[in-house]
């Protein structure tokens, strides 16, 4: 599965995107955040306050309780500040 990071989430994790195999028990966006937090210091720092992290599955916003199983592309990013 392709993971993509933007803005300060990208900077803190230290990469813009990566391919990752998720364990079967990671089924929701919230599960994914918890799983990634344990992957290292950069991830822990980026995802320290998971409440504010936004998740998009296949380029659509999803809530943290929504399923991610079978997703092609998942993006994690801070609240948007465009416009």
Partner 1 sequence: MPCAIRIVVQAEPFDTAAEIATIRNADANVGAVVSFSGICRDESGRLAALELEHYPGMAEAEIGRIAHEAVQRWSVDALTVIHRHGKIVPGDDIVLVLAASSHRQAAFDAASFLMDFLKTRAPFWKKEHLANGSAGDWVDAREADDAARERWKRDTEK
What residue ranges bind partner 1 (CB under 8 A)?
4, 6-8, 56, 59-61, 75, 77-83
- Nearest-5° Cα angle at 12, 11 to 16: 45
Query: Cα-flanking dihedrals φ and ψ of residue 77, to 5°?
Result: -160, 165
**Which CB sits closer to partner 1, 12 or 37?**
12
| Least distance (Å) between residue 71 CB and partner 1 | 13
| Least distance (Å) between residue 79 CB and partner 1 | 4
CA distance linking residue 66 with residue 8, whole number of Å:
23
| Least distance (Å) between residue 30 CB and partner 1 | 20
């Amino acid at each position: 599965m392709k993971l993509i990071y933007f803005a300060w989430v990208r900077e803190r994790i230290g990469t813009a995107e990566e391919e990752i195999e998720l364990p079967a028990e990671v089924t929701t966006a919230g599960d994914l955040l918890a799983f990634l937090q344990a992957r290292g210091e950069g991830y822990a720092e980026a995802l320290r306050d998971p409440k504010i992290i936004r998740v998009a599955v296949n380029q659509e916003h999803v809530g943290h309780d929504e399923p991610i199983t079978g997703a092609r592309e998942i993006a994690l990013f801070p609240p948007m500040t465009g416009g």
